[in-house]
Amino acid sequence: MKHFLSIESETAEHLVALLESSVQFKANRGKASESLLDGQTWALLFSKPSTRTRVSFEVGIRELGGAVIFLSRGDIQLGRGEPIIDTARVLGRMVQGAVIRTFAQSDIEQFAEYSQIPTINALTDYEHPCQIMADLLTILEKRGSLDDLKVCFIGDGKNNVAYSWIWAAERLGFELRIAAPDSYRPADSILEKMTNSRIFVTDDPLAGADQADVLYTDVWVSMGFEEESARRLAELDAFQINEPLVARAAPKALVLHCLPAYRGREISAETLEKHAATIFDQAENRLHVQKAILSDVRK
């Protein structure tokens, strides 16, 4: 049984194969009839809000010939306390695959184990692997390769997107700088697992951005951390992607944002609009990489 639960659990070879398959899905969209999920019904089980992930999975599953059931936590008994392992065993008897957005990574792992159907991580507190696949595809398209790549992630260095970036750098070997205040550094327990000596953490955003090929940011207040909003906005204030920061990066550096964006916080309105063409290609690429992932894990 194949799943897509994290970048951590993937090999470099498989990540590269998925990116190659994503390029094909993007090139062939609408041309060939795709029936890889013919006769299948997939459940989207979401415990947090979503625009891009929900729409790209719903469209992707339909374009592959499958049907979709969207289940938000509050609509099903999970929201009233039914255990994830029971929800998994029920869904596993009725649908052919599951795409899950939730809090604990252990919930998605338990779901995969108990449901016995292909399971895809659509974001947990620990990782957002489908996002990073779309980001890598975007970099590949704009730069031609991932060779000699230097990425700077700026902001909350211990959130799900930052952790997926760290695992991507570990698996694929590129240079990654995490520019974050001390209290937003990645956990030592993650950094200790790294063998790539080109993963750096700095509390100086300008040093992190210096000659970087990609400047990347994400929201300062991830879903589930809303109670910490005021403190986070104050503590991360100096870690905005803006024009002075872009000026420190390599000429023609890419600016990426997983979205949703909060202008004036993690990115200035001016910088977001200047790089909107890239950032919305990045959003579109969710669809193409997820079709590659769906076709890879399907039964």
Note if the bond before 260 is cis, omega within 30 degrees.
yes
Per the CB < 8 A criterion, the answer to whether 177 and 152 are in contact is yes
The answer to whether 229 contacts ligand CP (rule: CB under 6 A) is: no
- Of 125, 218, 275, 298, the catalytic one is 218
- Is 3 tagged catalytic? no
First vs last Cα of the chain: how many Å apart? 8
* Span interacting with ligand CP, options 44-52, 62-70, 79-87, 181-189, rule CB under 6 A: 44-52
Which partner, ligand CP, ligand NVA, none, binds residue 160 by CB below 5 to 8 Å per kind?
ligand NVA
Structure tokens at 68: 């979709």
Question: Count of alpha carbons within 13 Å of 75, Cβ hemisphere only?
Answer: 9
* Span interacting with ligand NVA, options 104-112, 156-164, 207-215, 242-250, rule CB under 6 A: 156-164
* Four-residue CA torsion sign, 86, 118, 219, 283: negative
Minimum distance between the CB of residue 103 and ligand NVA, rounded to whole angstroms? 10
Of 92 and 232, nearer to ligand CP (C-beta) is: 232
* Span interacting with ligand NVA, options 63-71, 90-98, 214-222, 268-276, rule CB under 6 A: 214-222
**Residue nearest ligand NVA, CB atom distance:** 222
CA 252 to chain centre: 24
For 263, phi then psi, to 5°, come to -60, 140
- Is 218 tagged catalytic? yes
- Of 258, 275, 282, 290, the catalytic one is 258
102, 119, 121, 159: residue in contact with ligand NVA (rule CB under 6 A) = 159
Of 124 and 202, nearer to ligand CP (C-beta) is: 124
The answer to whether 282 contacts ligand CP (rule: CB under 6 A) is: no
Of 58 and 109, nearer to ligand CP (C-beta) is: 58
Q: At what angle do helices 276-297 and 129-143 cross, to 10 degrees?
A: 120
H or E segment to which residue 189 belongs: helix 188-191
Token pair 């415990």 in the structure block, residue: 47
16, 17, 259, 297: residue in contact with ligand CP (rule CB under 6 A) = 259
Structure tokens at 272: 């977001």
Q: Which residues participate in catalysis according to the annotation?
A: 101, 128, 131, 218, 258, 286
